[in-house]
Amino acid sequence: MTLEEALQQQQERVELLIKAAKKYTSALTAWKKACQTGHVVNLQKNATLAQERAAGLVEPTSEASAAWDFDVRAYLEGAQWRKEIRSVAAARHDLRTMEDDDLLISSPVIVRAQPGRNSLQIGKANWPNIHPQLVAAELKRLRDRTAAAKSHDFLEALYRTCLRSTRPEVLFVKFREVYDRWCDTPGYKKENPLPAFAQQIYALERSGIRTTKAGNRFDIQGPSGDPKAKDILSVIAEDGQTIRYYGITFRK
């Protein structure tokens, strides 16, 4: 059973409890009104009715609670959570995602499971609402809101690194070299695994941005000749094709 199916079954049980609880609340309201008006017959009648309806809630409430036996920790420790979110994201939002080991990547956001907390981590934020529909909707919102802004910032950071790494007349730098330099910053590699870095390149390429803030044009280059395998970064595009990146050139 998927998490979505388990949640739906639990929701249906709770909806039945809510209907019964409304009848209980109705009896309480009538009981209160009888107290306010001094209608003793109605007071006694609704007090008895409320007692009966309250008693009738105990067993189905216990049954509904006991029926929730979905192993959330096992779900998050395995691959099923990624498969469910990917399926919902594609079907509801036409949002393409990819898996990399135990990560779910929705460029430029990385999603990690937190089994010990029964939650997910979306980017740097703890995300306790793990219903696949809500997660997929949040990934779509984040992609729409942050893609352009993050790509601008990413481009400027690439340009600054290129200026520090090369001669002014040869503004070219390998992406792997950039990544290795950025990993010197404490905590960078943990928060930005290599697949996430490659996804940022992919997002920049698709963003429509053509120049830096200073007006420098750039070209993202794939591998040619016989480069080292470690210098080639790969991503899976939304159409399923593999795209390989090598470096970036800036022109004044």
pLDDT digits (tens, 9 = 90+) for 225-237: 889 999 999 998 8
Q: Can you give the residue ranges of every domain in the chain?
A: 3-70, 73-139, 141-251
Segment 100-144, tens digit of pLDDT = 889 999 877 899 999 999 999 999 899 999 999 999 999 998 887
Backbone angles phi, psi at 155, to 5 degrees: -60, -45
Q: What is the largest CA-CA distance in the chain?
A: 97
The pTM of the full predicted model, rounded to 2 decimals, is 0.61
- Please provide the average confidence, as pLDDT, over all residues in the chain: 92
pLDDT band at 20 (very low <50, low <70, confident <90, very high): very high
The residue that leads in pLDDT, 166 or 52, is 52
Q: Is the pLDDT of residue 42 over 80?
A: yes
Nearest CA to 3 out of 100, 104, 61, 74 is that of 74
Nearest C-alpha neighbor of 46 from the set 56, 32, 58, 57 = 32
Q: For residues 214 and 240, is the Cβ–Cβ distance under 8 A?
A: no
Higher pLDDT, 166 or 178: 178
Collect contacts of 122-129 with beta carbons under 8 A, ≥24 apart.
Answer: 124/191
Cα distance between residue 119 and residue 112, in whole Å: 9
- For helices 175-182 and 132-165, what crossing angle results, to 10°? 100
pLDDT at 151: 87
**pLDDT value at residue 241:** 86
Q: Tell me the β-bridge partners of 109.
A: 106
Whole-number CA gyration radius for the chain: 28
Provide the pLDDT confidence category of residue 252 given band limits of 50, 70 and 90.
confident
